[in-house]
Structure 1
Amino acid sequence: MGNFVLLDWIRICLIAILVYLAYYDLRTFRLPDVITLPLILLGLLFNSLSNQRFISFQDAIIGAILGYTCLWLLNLLYRIVKKQDGVGMGDAKLLAALGAWLGWFALPSILLMASLTGLIGGIIWLQWNKQNHRSAFPFGPFLAIAGIIELLWPQTLQTLLLSKPV
């Protein structure tokens, strides 16, 4: 019972941090290193030292590396084509943190959910703020929402997409 309660508190704290990061990114267009970098480290430590870890330490390391590298490469390609940044590195660090906590196998779901909600949310954001399609909008909130969904209901997207209709 005690370990179950501890995992619940860890999930609650992680959700609170993700909600705060989403709010902060909406207000400032920044994801502060003072939060994202310790979040990566805490995810790695939790999954390496805890008996109640979410994933193996190896999956956490791979998740952190792939999470960061994926958005870093996407930004590099965008910079080559458009001569400007397309994704902030705070977003890459947030995805690395989600990879450290939830593992590399959660990253495709997180990215797909964040991209779909970001597409819809981005259109609403740009309309609300009366900006054109070339204007920037924060992607961190969508990563945070997708991370929370994956934390609370793991592999929901795979279940929805791959389940056989009855």
Structure 2
Amino acid sequence: MALLDTALLIFLLAISGAILLALCIIDLRRYQLPDTLNAAFGGLGLAFHLLSPYGFLPPASLGIAALLSAGLFLGLRWLFWKYRHVEALGLGDVKFIAAASFWVGLNGIFWVIALGALSTICAAPLYRLRGRPPSKRSTVSLRVPFGPGLTVATAGVFTHMIARSI
């Protein structure tokens, strides 16, 4: 039975890795994080914690983490729009951070946000060099997708969680 459990968890991790890669590529190309992929990623995170014999994080705390992190991002989105009239965070970013919470929990999600923001800031000059034109609906001169930074940070934080528990 343990072998079957391990194989299932490895399968969940492989599918989730593929979804993270797809989210990263789509956001780089289209500035979108599709709802279906966000939902699948979050669902797989919940399934991982429910099926894992290691008991990483309790499901109730994952739901609380998703609500709090999505609320934080919605609040930031609203503040930027109210005071700067800029859509600084898309709804896909809000949904992704909720989905990522189902993988890393409340403590991990703040690391995902911090590391995701740092990696996105570090990548911003590459977008300037690449010559990506600003959006016609944006008042800022450079748009940088947040999804790639968040996906890489999520994978890194979750990997760190696994490594610490072994």
Computed over aligned residues only, the root mean square deviation of the Cα atoms, in angstroms, reads: 2.2
Counterpart position of 1:160: none
Aligned equivalent of 1:28: 30
Q: 1:71 aligns with which of 65, 70, 73?
A: 73
Q: Contact conserved, 2:39 with 2:99, CA < 8 A, in 1?
A: yes
User: Is 38-47 or 111-120 further displaced after alignment?
Assistant: 38-47
Question: Match for 2:119: what amino acid?
Answer: T
Aligned residue pairs, count: 155
Contact 1:60 1:104 in 2 (8 A): yes
State the distance in 2 between where 1:155 and 1:70 align: 26
Q: Indicate how the Cα distance of structure 1 residues 50 and 106 shifts in structure 2: closer, same or farther if over 3 A, else same.
A: same
TM-score (norm 1): 0.83
- Aligned-partner Cα distance in 2 for 1:148–1:111: 12
Q: Hey, what does 2:91 align to over in structure 1? A: 89
Give the match for residue 50 of structure 1: 51
Question: SS of the residue aligned with 2:161?
Answer: coil
Deviation (angstroms), 1:11: 1.6
Provide the C-alpha distance between the structure 2 equivalents of 1:13 and 1:21, rounded to a whole number of angstroms.
Answer: 12
Q: What fraction of aligned residue pairs are identical, expressed as a percent?
A: 25
Amino acid at match of 1:99: S
Tell me by how many angstroms 1:71 deviates. Answer: 1.2
Shift of 1:46: 4.2
Q: What corresponds to 1:134 in structure 2?
A: 141
Question: 1:144 is aligned with what amino acid?
Answer: T
Match of 1:40 among 39, 42, 45: 42
Paired residue for 2:14, among 2, 12, 15? 12
Partner of 2:160: 153
CA deviations 1:28-87 (Å, max 9, x no partner) are: 11011121123333433443x424354111121012112211211111111111112111
Q: Report the CA distance between 1:123 and its aligned residue.
A: 1.9
Q: Distance in 2 between matches of 1:32 and 1:119?
A: 23
Q: Which stretch shifts more, 18-27 or 130-139?
A: 130-139
Partners of 2:65 and 2:102 within 8 A in 1 = yes
* Structure 1: runs of 5+ lacking an equivalent: 157-166
Q: Hey, what's the Cα distance between the residues in 2 that align with 1:14 and 1:124?
A: 27
Tell me the distance in 2 between the aligned counterparts of 1:45 and 1:154.
16
- Report the TM-score, using the length of structure 2 for normalisation: 0.83
Unaligned runs of 5+ in 2: 135-139
Paired residue for 1:163? none
Task: Classify the secondary structure of the residue corresponding to 1:87.
Answer: coil
